[in-house]
Amino acid sequence: MSLTDAPDGALAEPTQVLEFELGEERYCVVLDAVTEIIDRKSARSLPDTPPHVVGAMDYRGATTMLVDTASLLGVGSNPDASRVVVFDAADEDATVFGWLVDEVDRVTEVDPETVDDAPFGDELTRGIVRTDDGLVVWVDPPVDA
């Protein structure tokens, strides 16, 4: 079953995604969720946070939670990654957060025909995108870090 067969019609038309790298692996997120891609700035450690939260930094006057994306996704850890994908806050009172990634590759359009369901039950994994360059794991950013 692919995403196009899903009862809620999760992906009925081509969708733009941002591809990024964590180590040797490639991932993507829907482009509409991304505010900006920036170089990492200095961050402050925070007590009593989940293990995947590296700290907080200032992003355009907003305290932004930095997330070790590899740790969040359960594929290792890279708290020293140099790039940050900043996501739109769900509303004005929501926490702004950024995912630490090794590289940002490109924006591309995903055709529903190239997306398969993930073969495992992770709530962050939307599907697997088949590309000419191999497989890309499509993940959804959580509503809170």
CATH code (residue 32): 2.40.50.180
pLDDT of 144 reads 59
Whether the pTM exceeds 0.75: the reply is: yes
Sign of the dihedral defined by the CA atoms of residues 85, 86, 88, 91, in that order: positive
Structural domain span for residue 41: 15-139
- Of the candidates 27, 52, 59, 54, the residue with the CA atom closest to the CA atom of residue 125: 27
What is the reported pLDDT for 121?
64
Structural domain includes residue 38: yes
Residue-wise pLDDT for 94-144, tens only, equals 788 999 999 999 999 999 999 998 887 678 899 999 999 899 999 998 665
Whole-number pLDDT of residue 124:
86
Task: Express each pLDDT in 32-68 by its tens digit.
Answer: 999 999 999 899 999 999 999 999 999 988 889 999 9
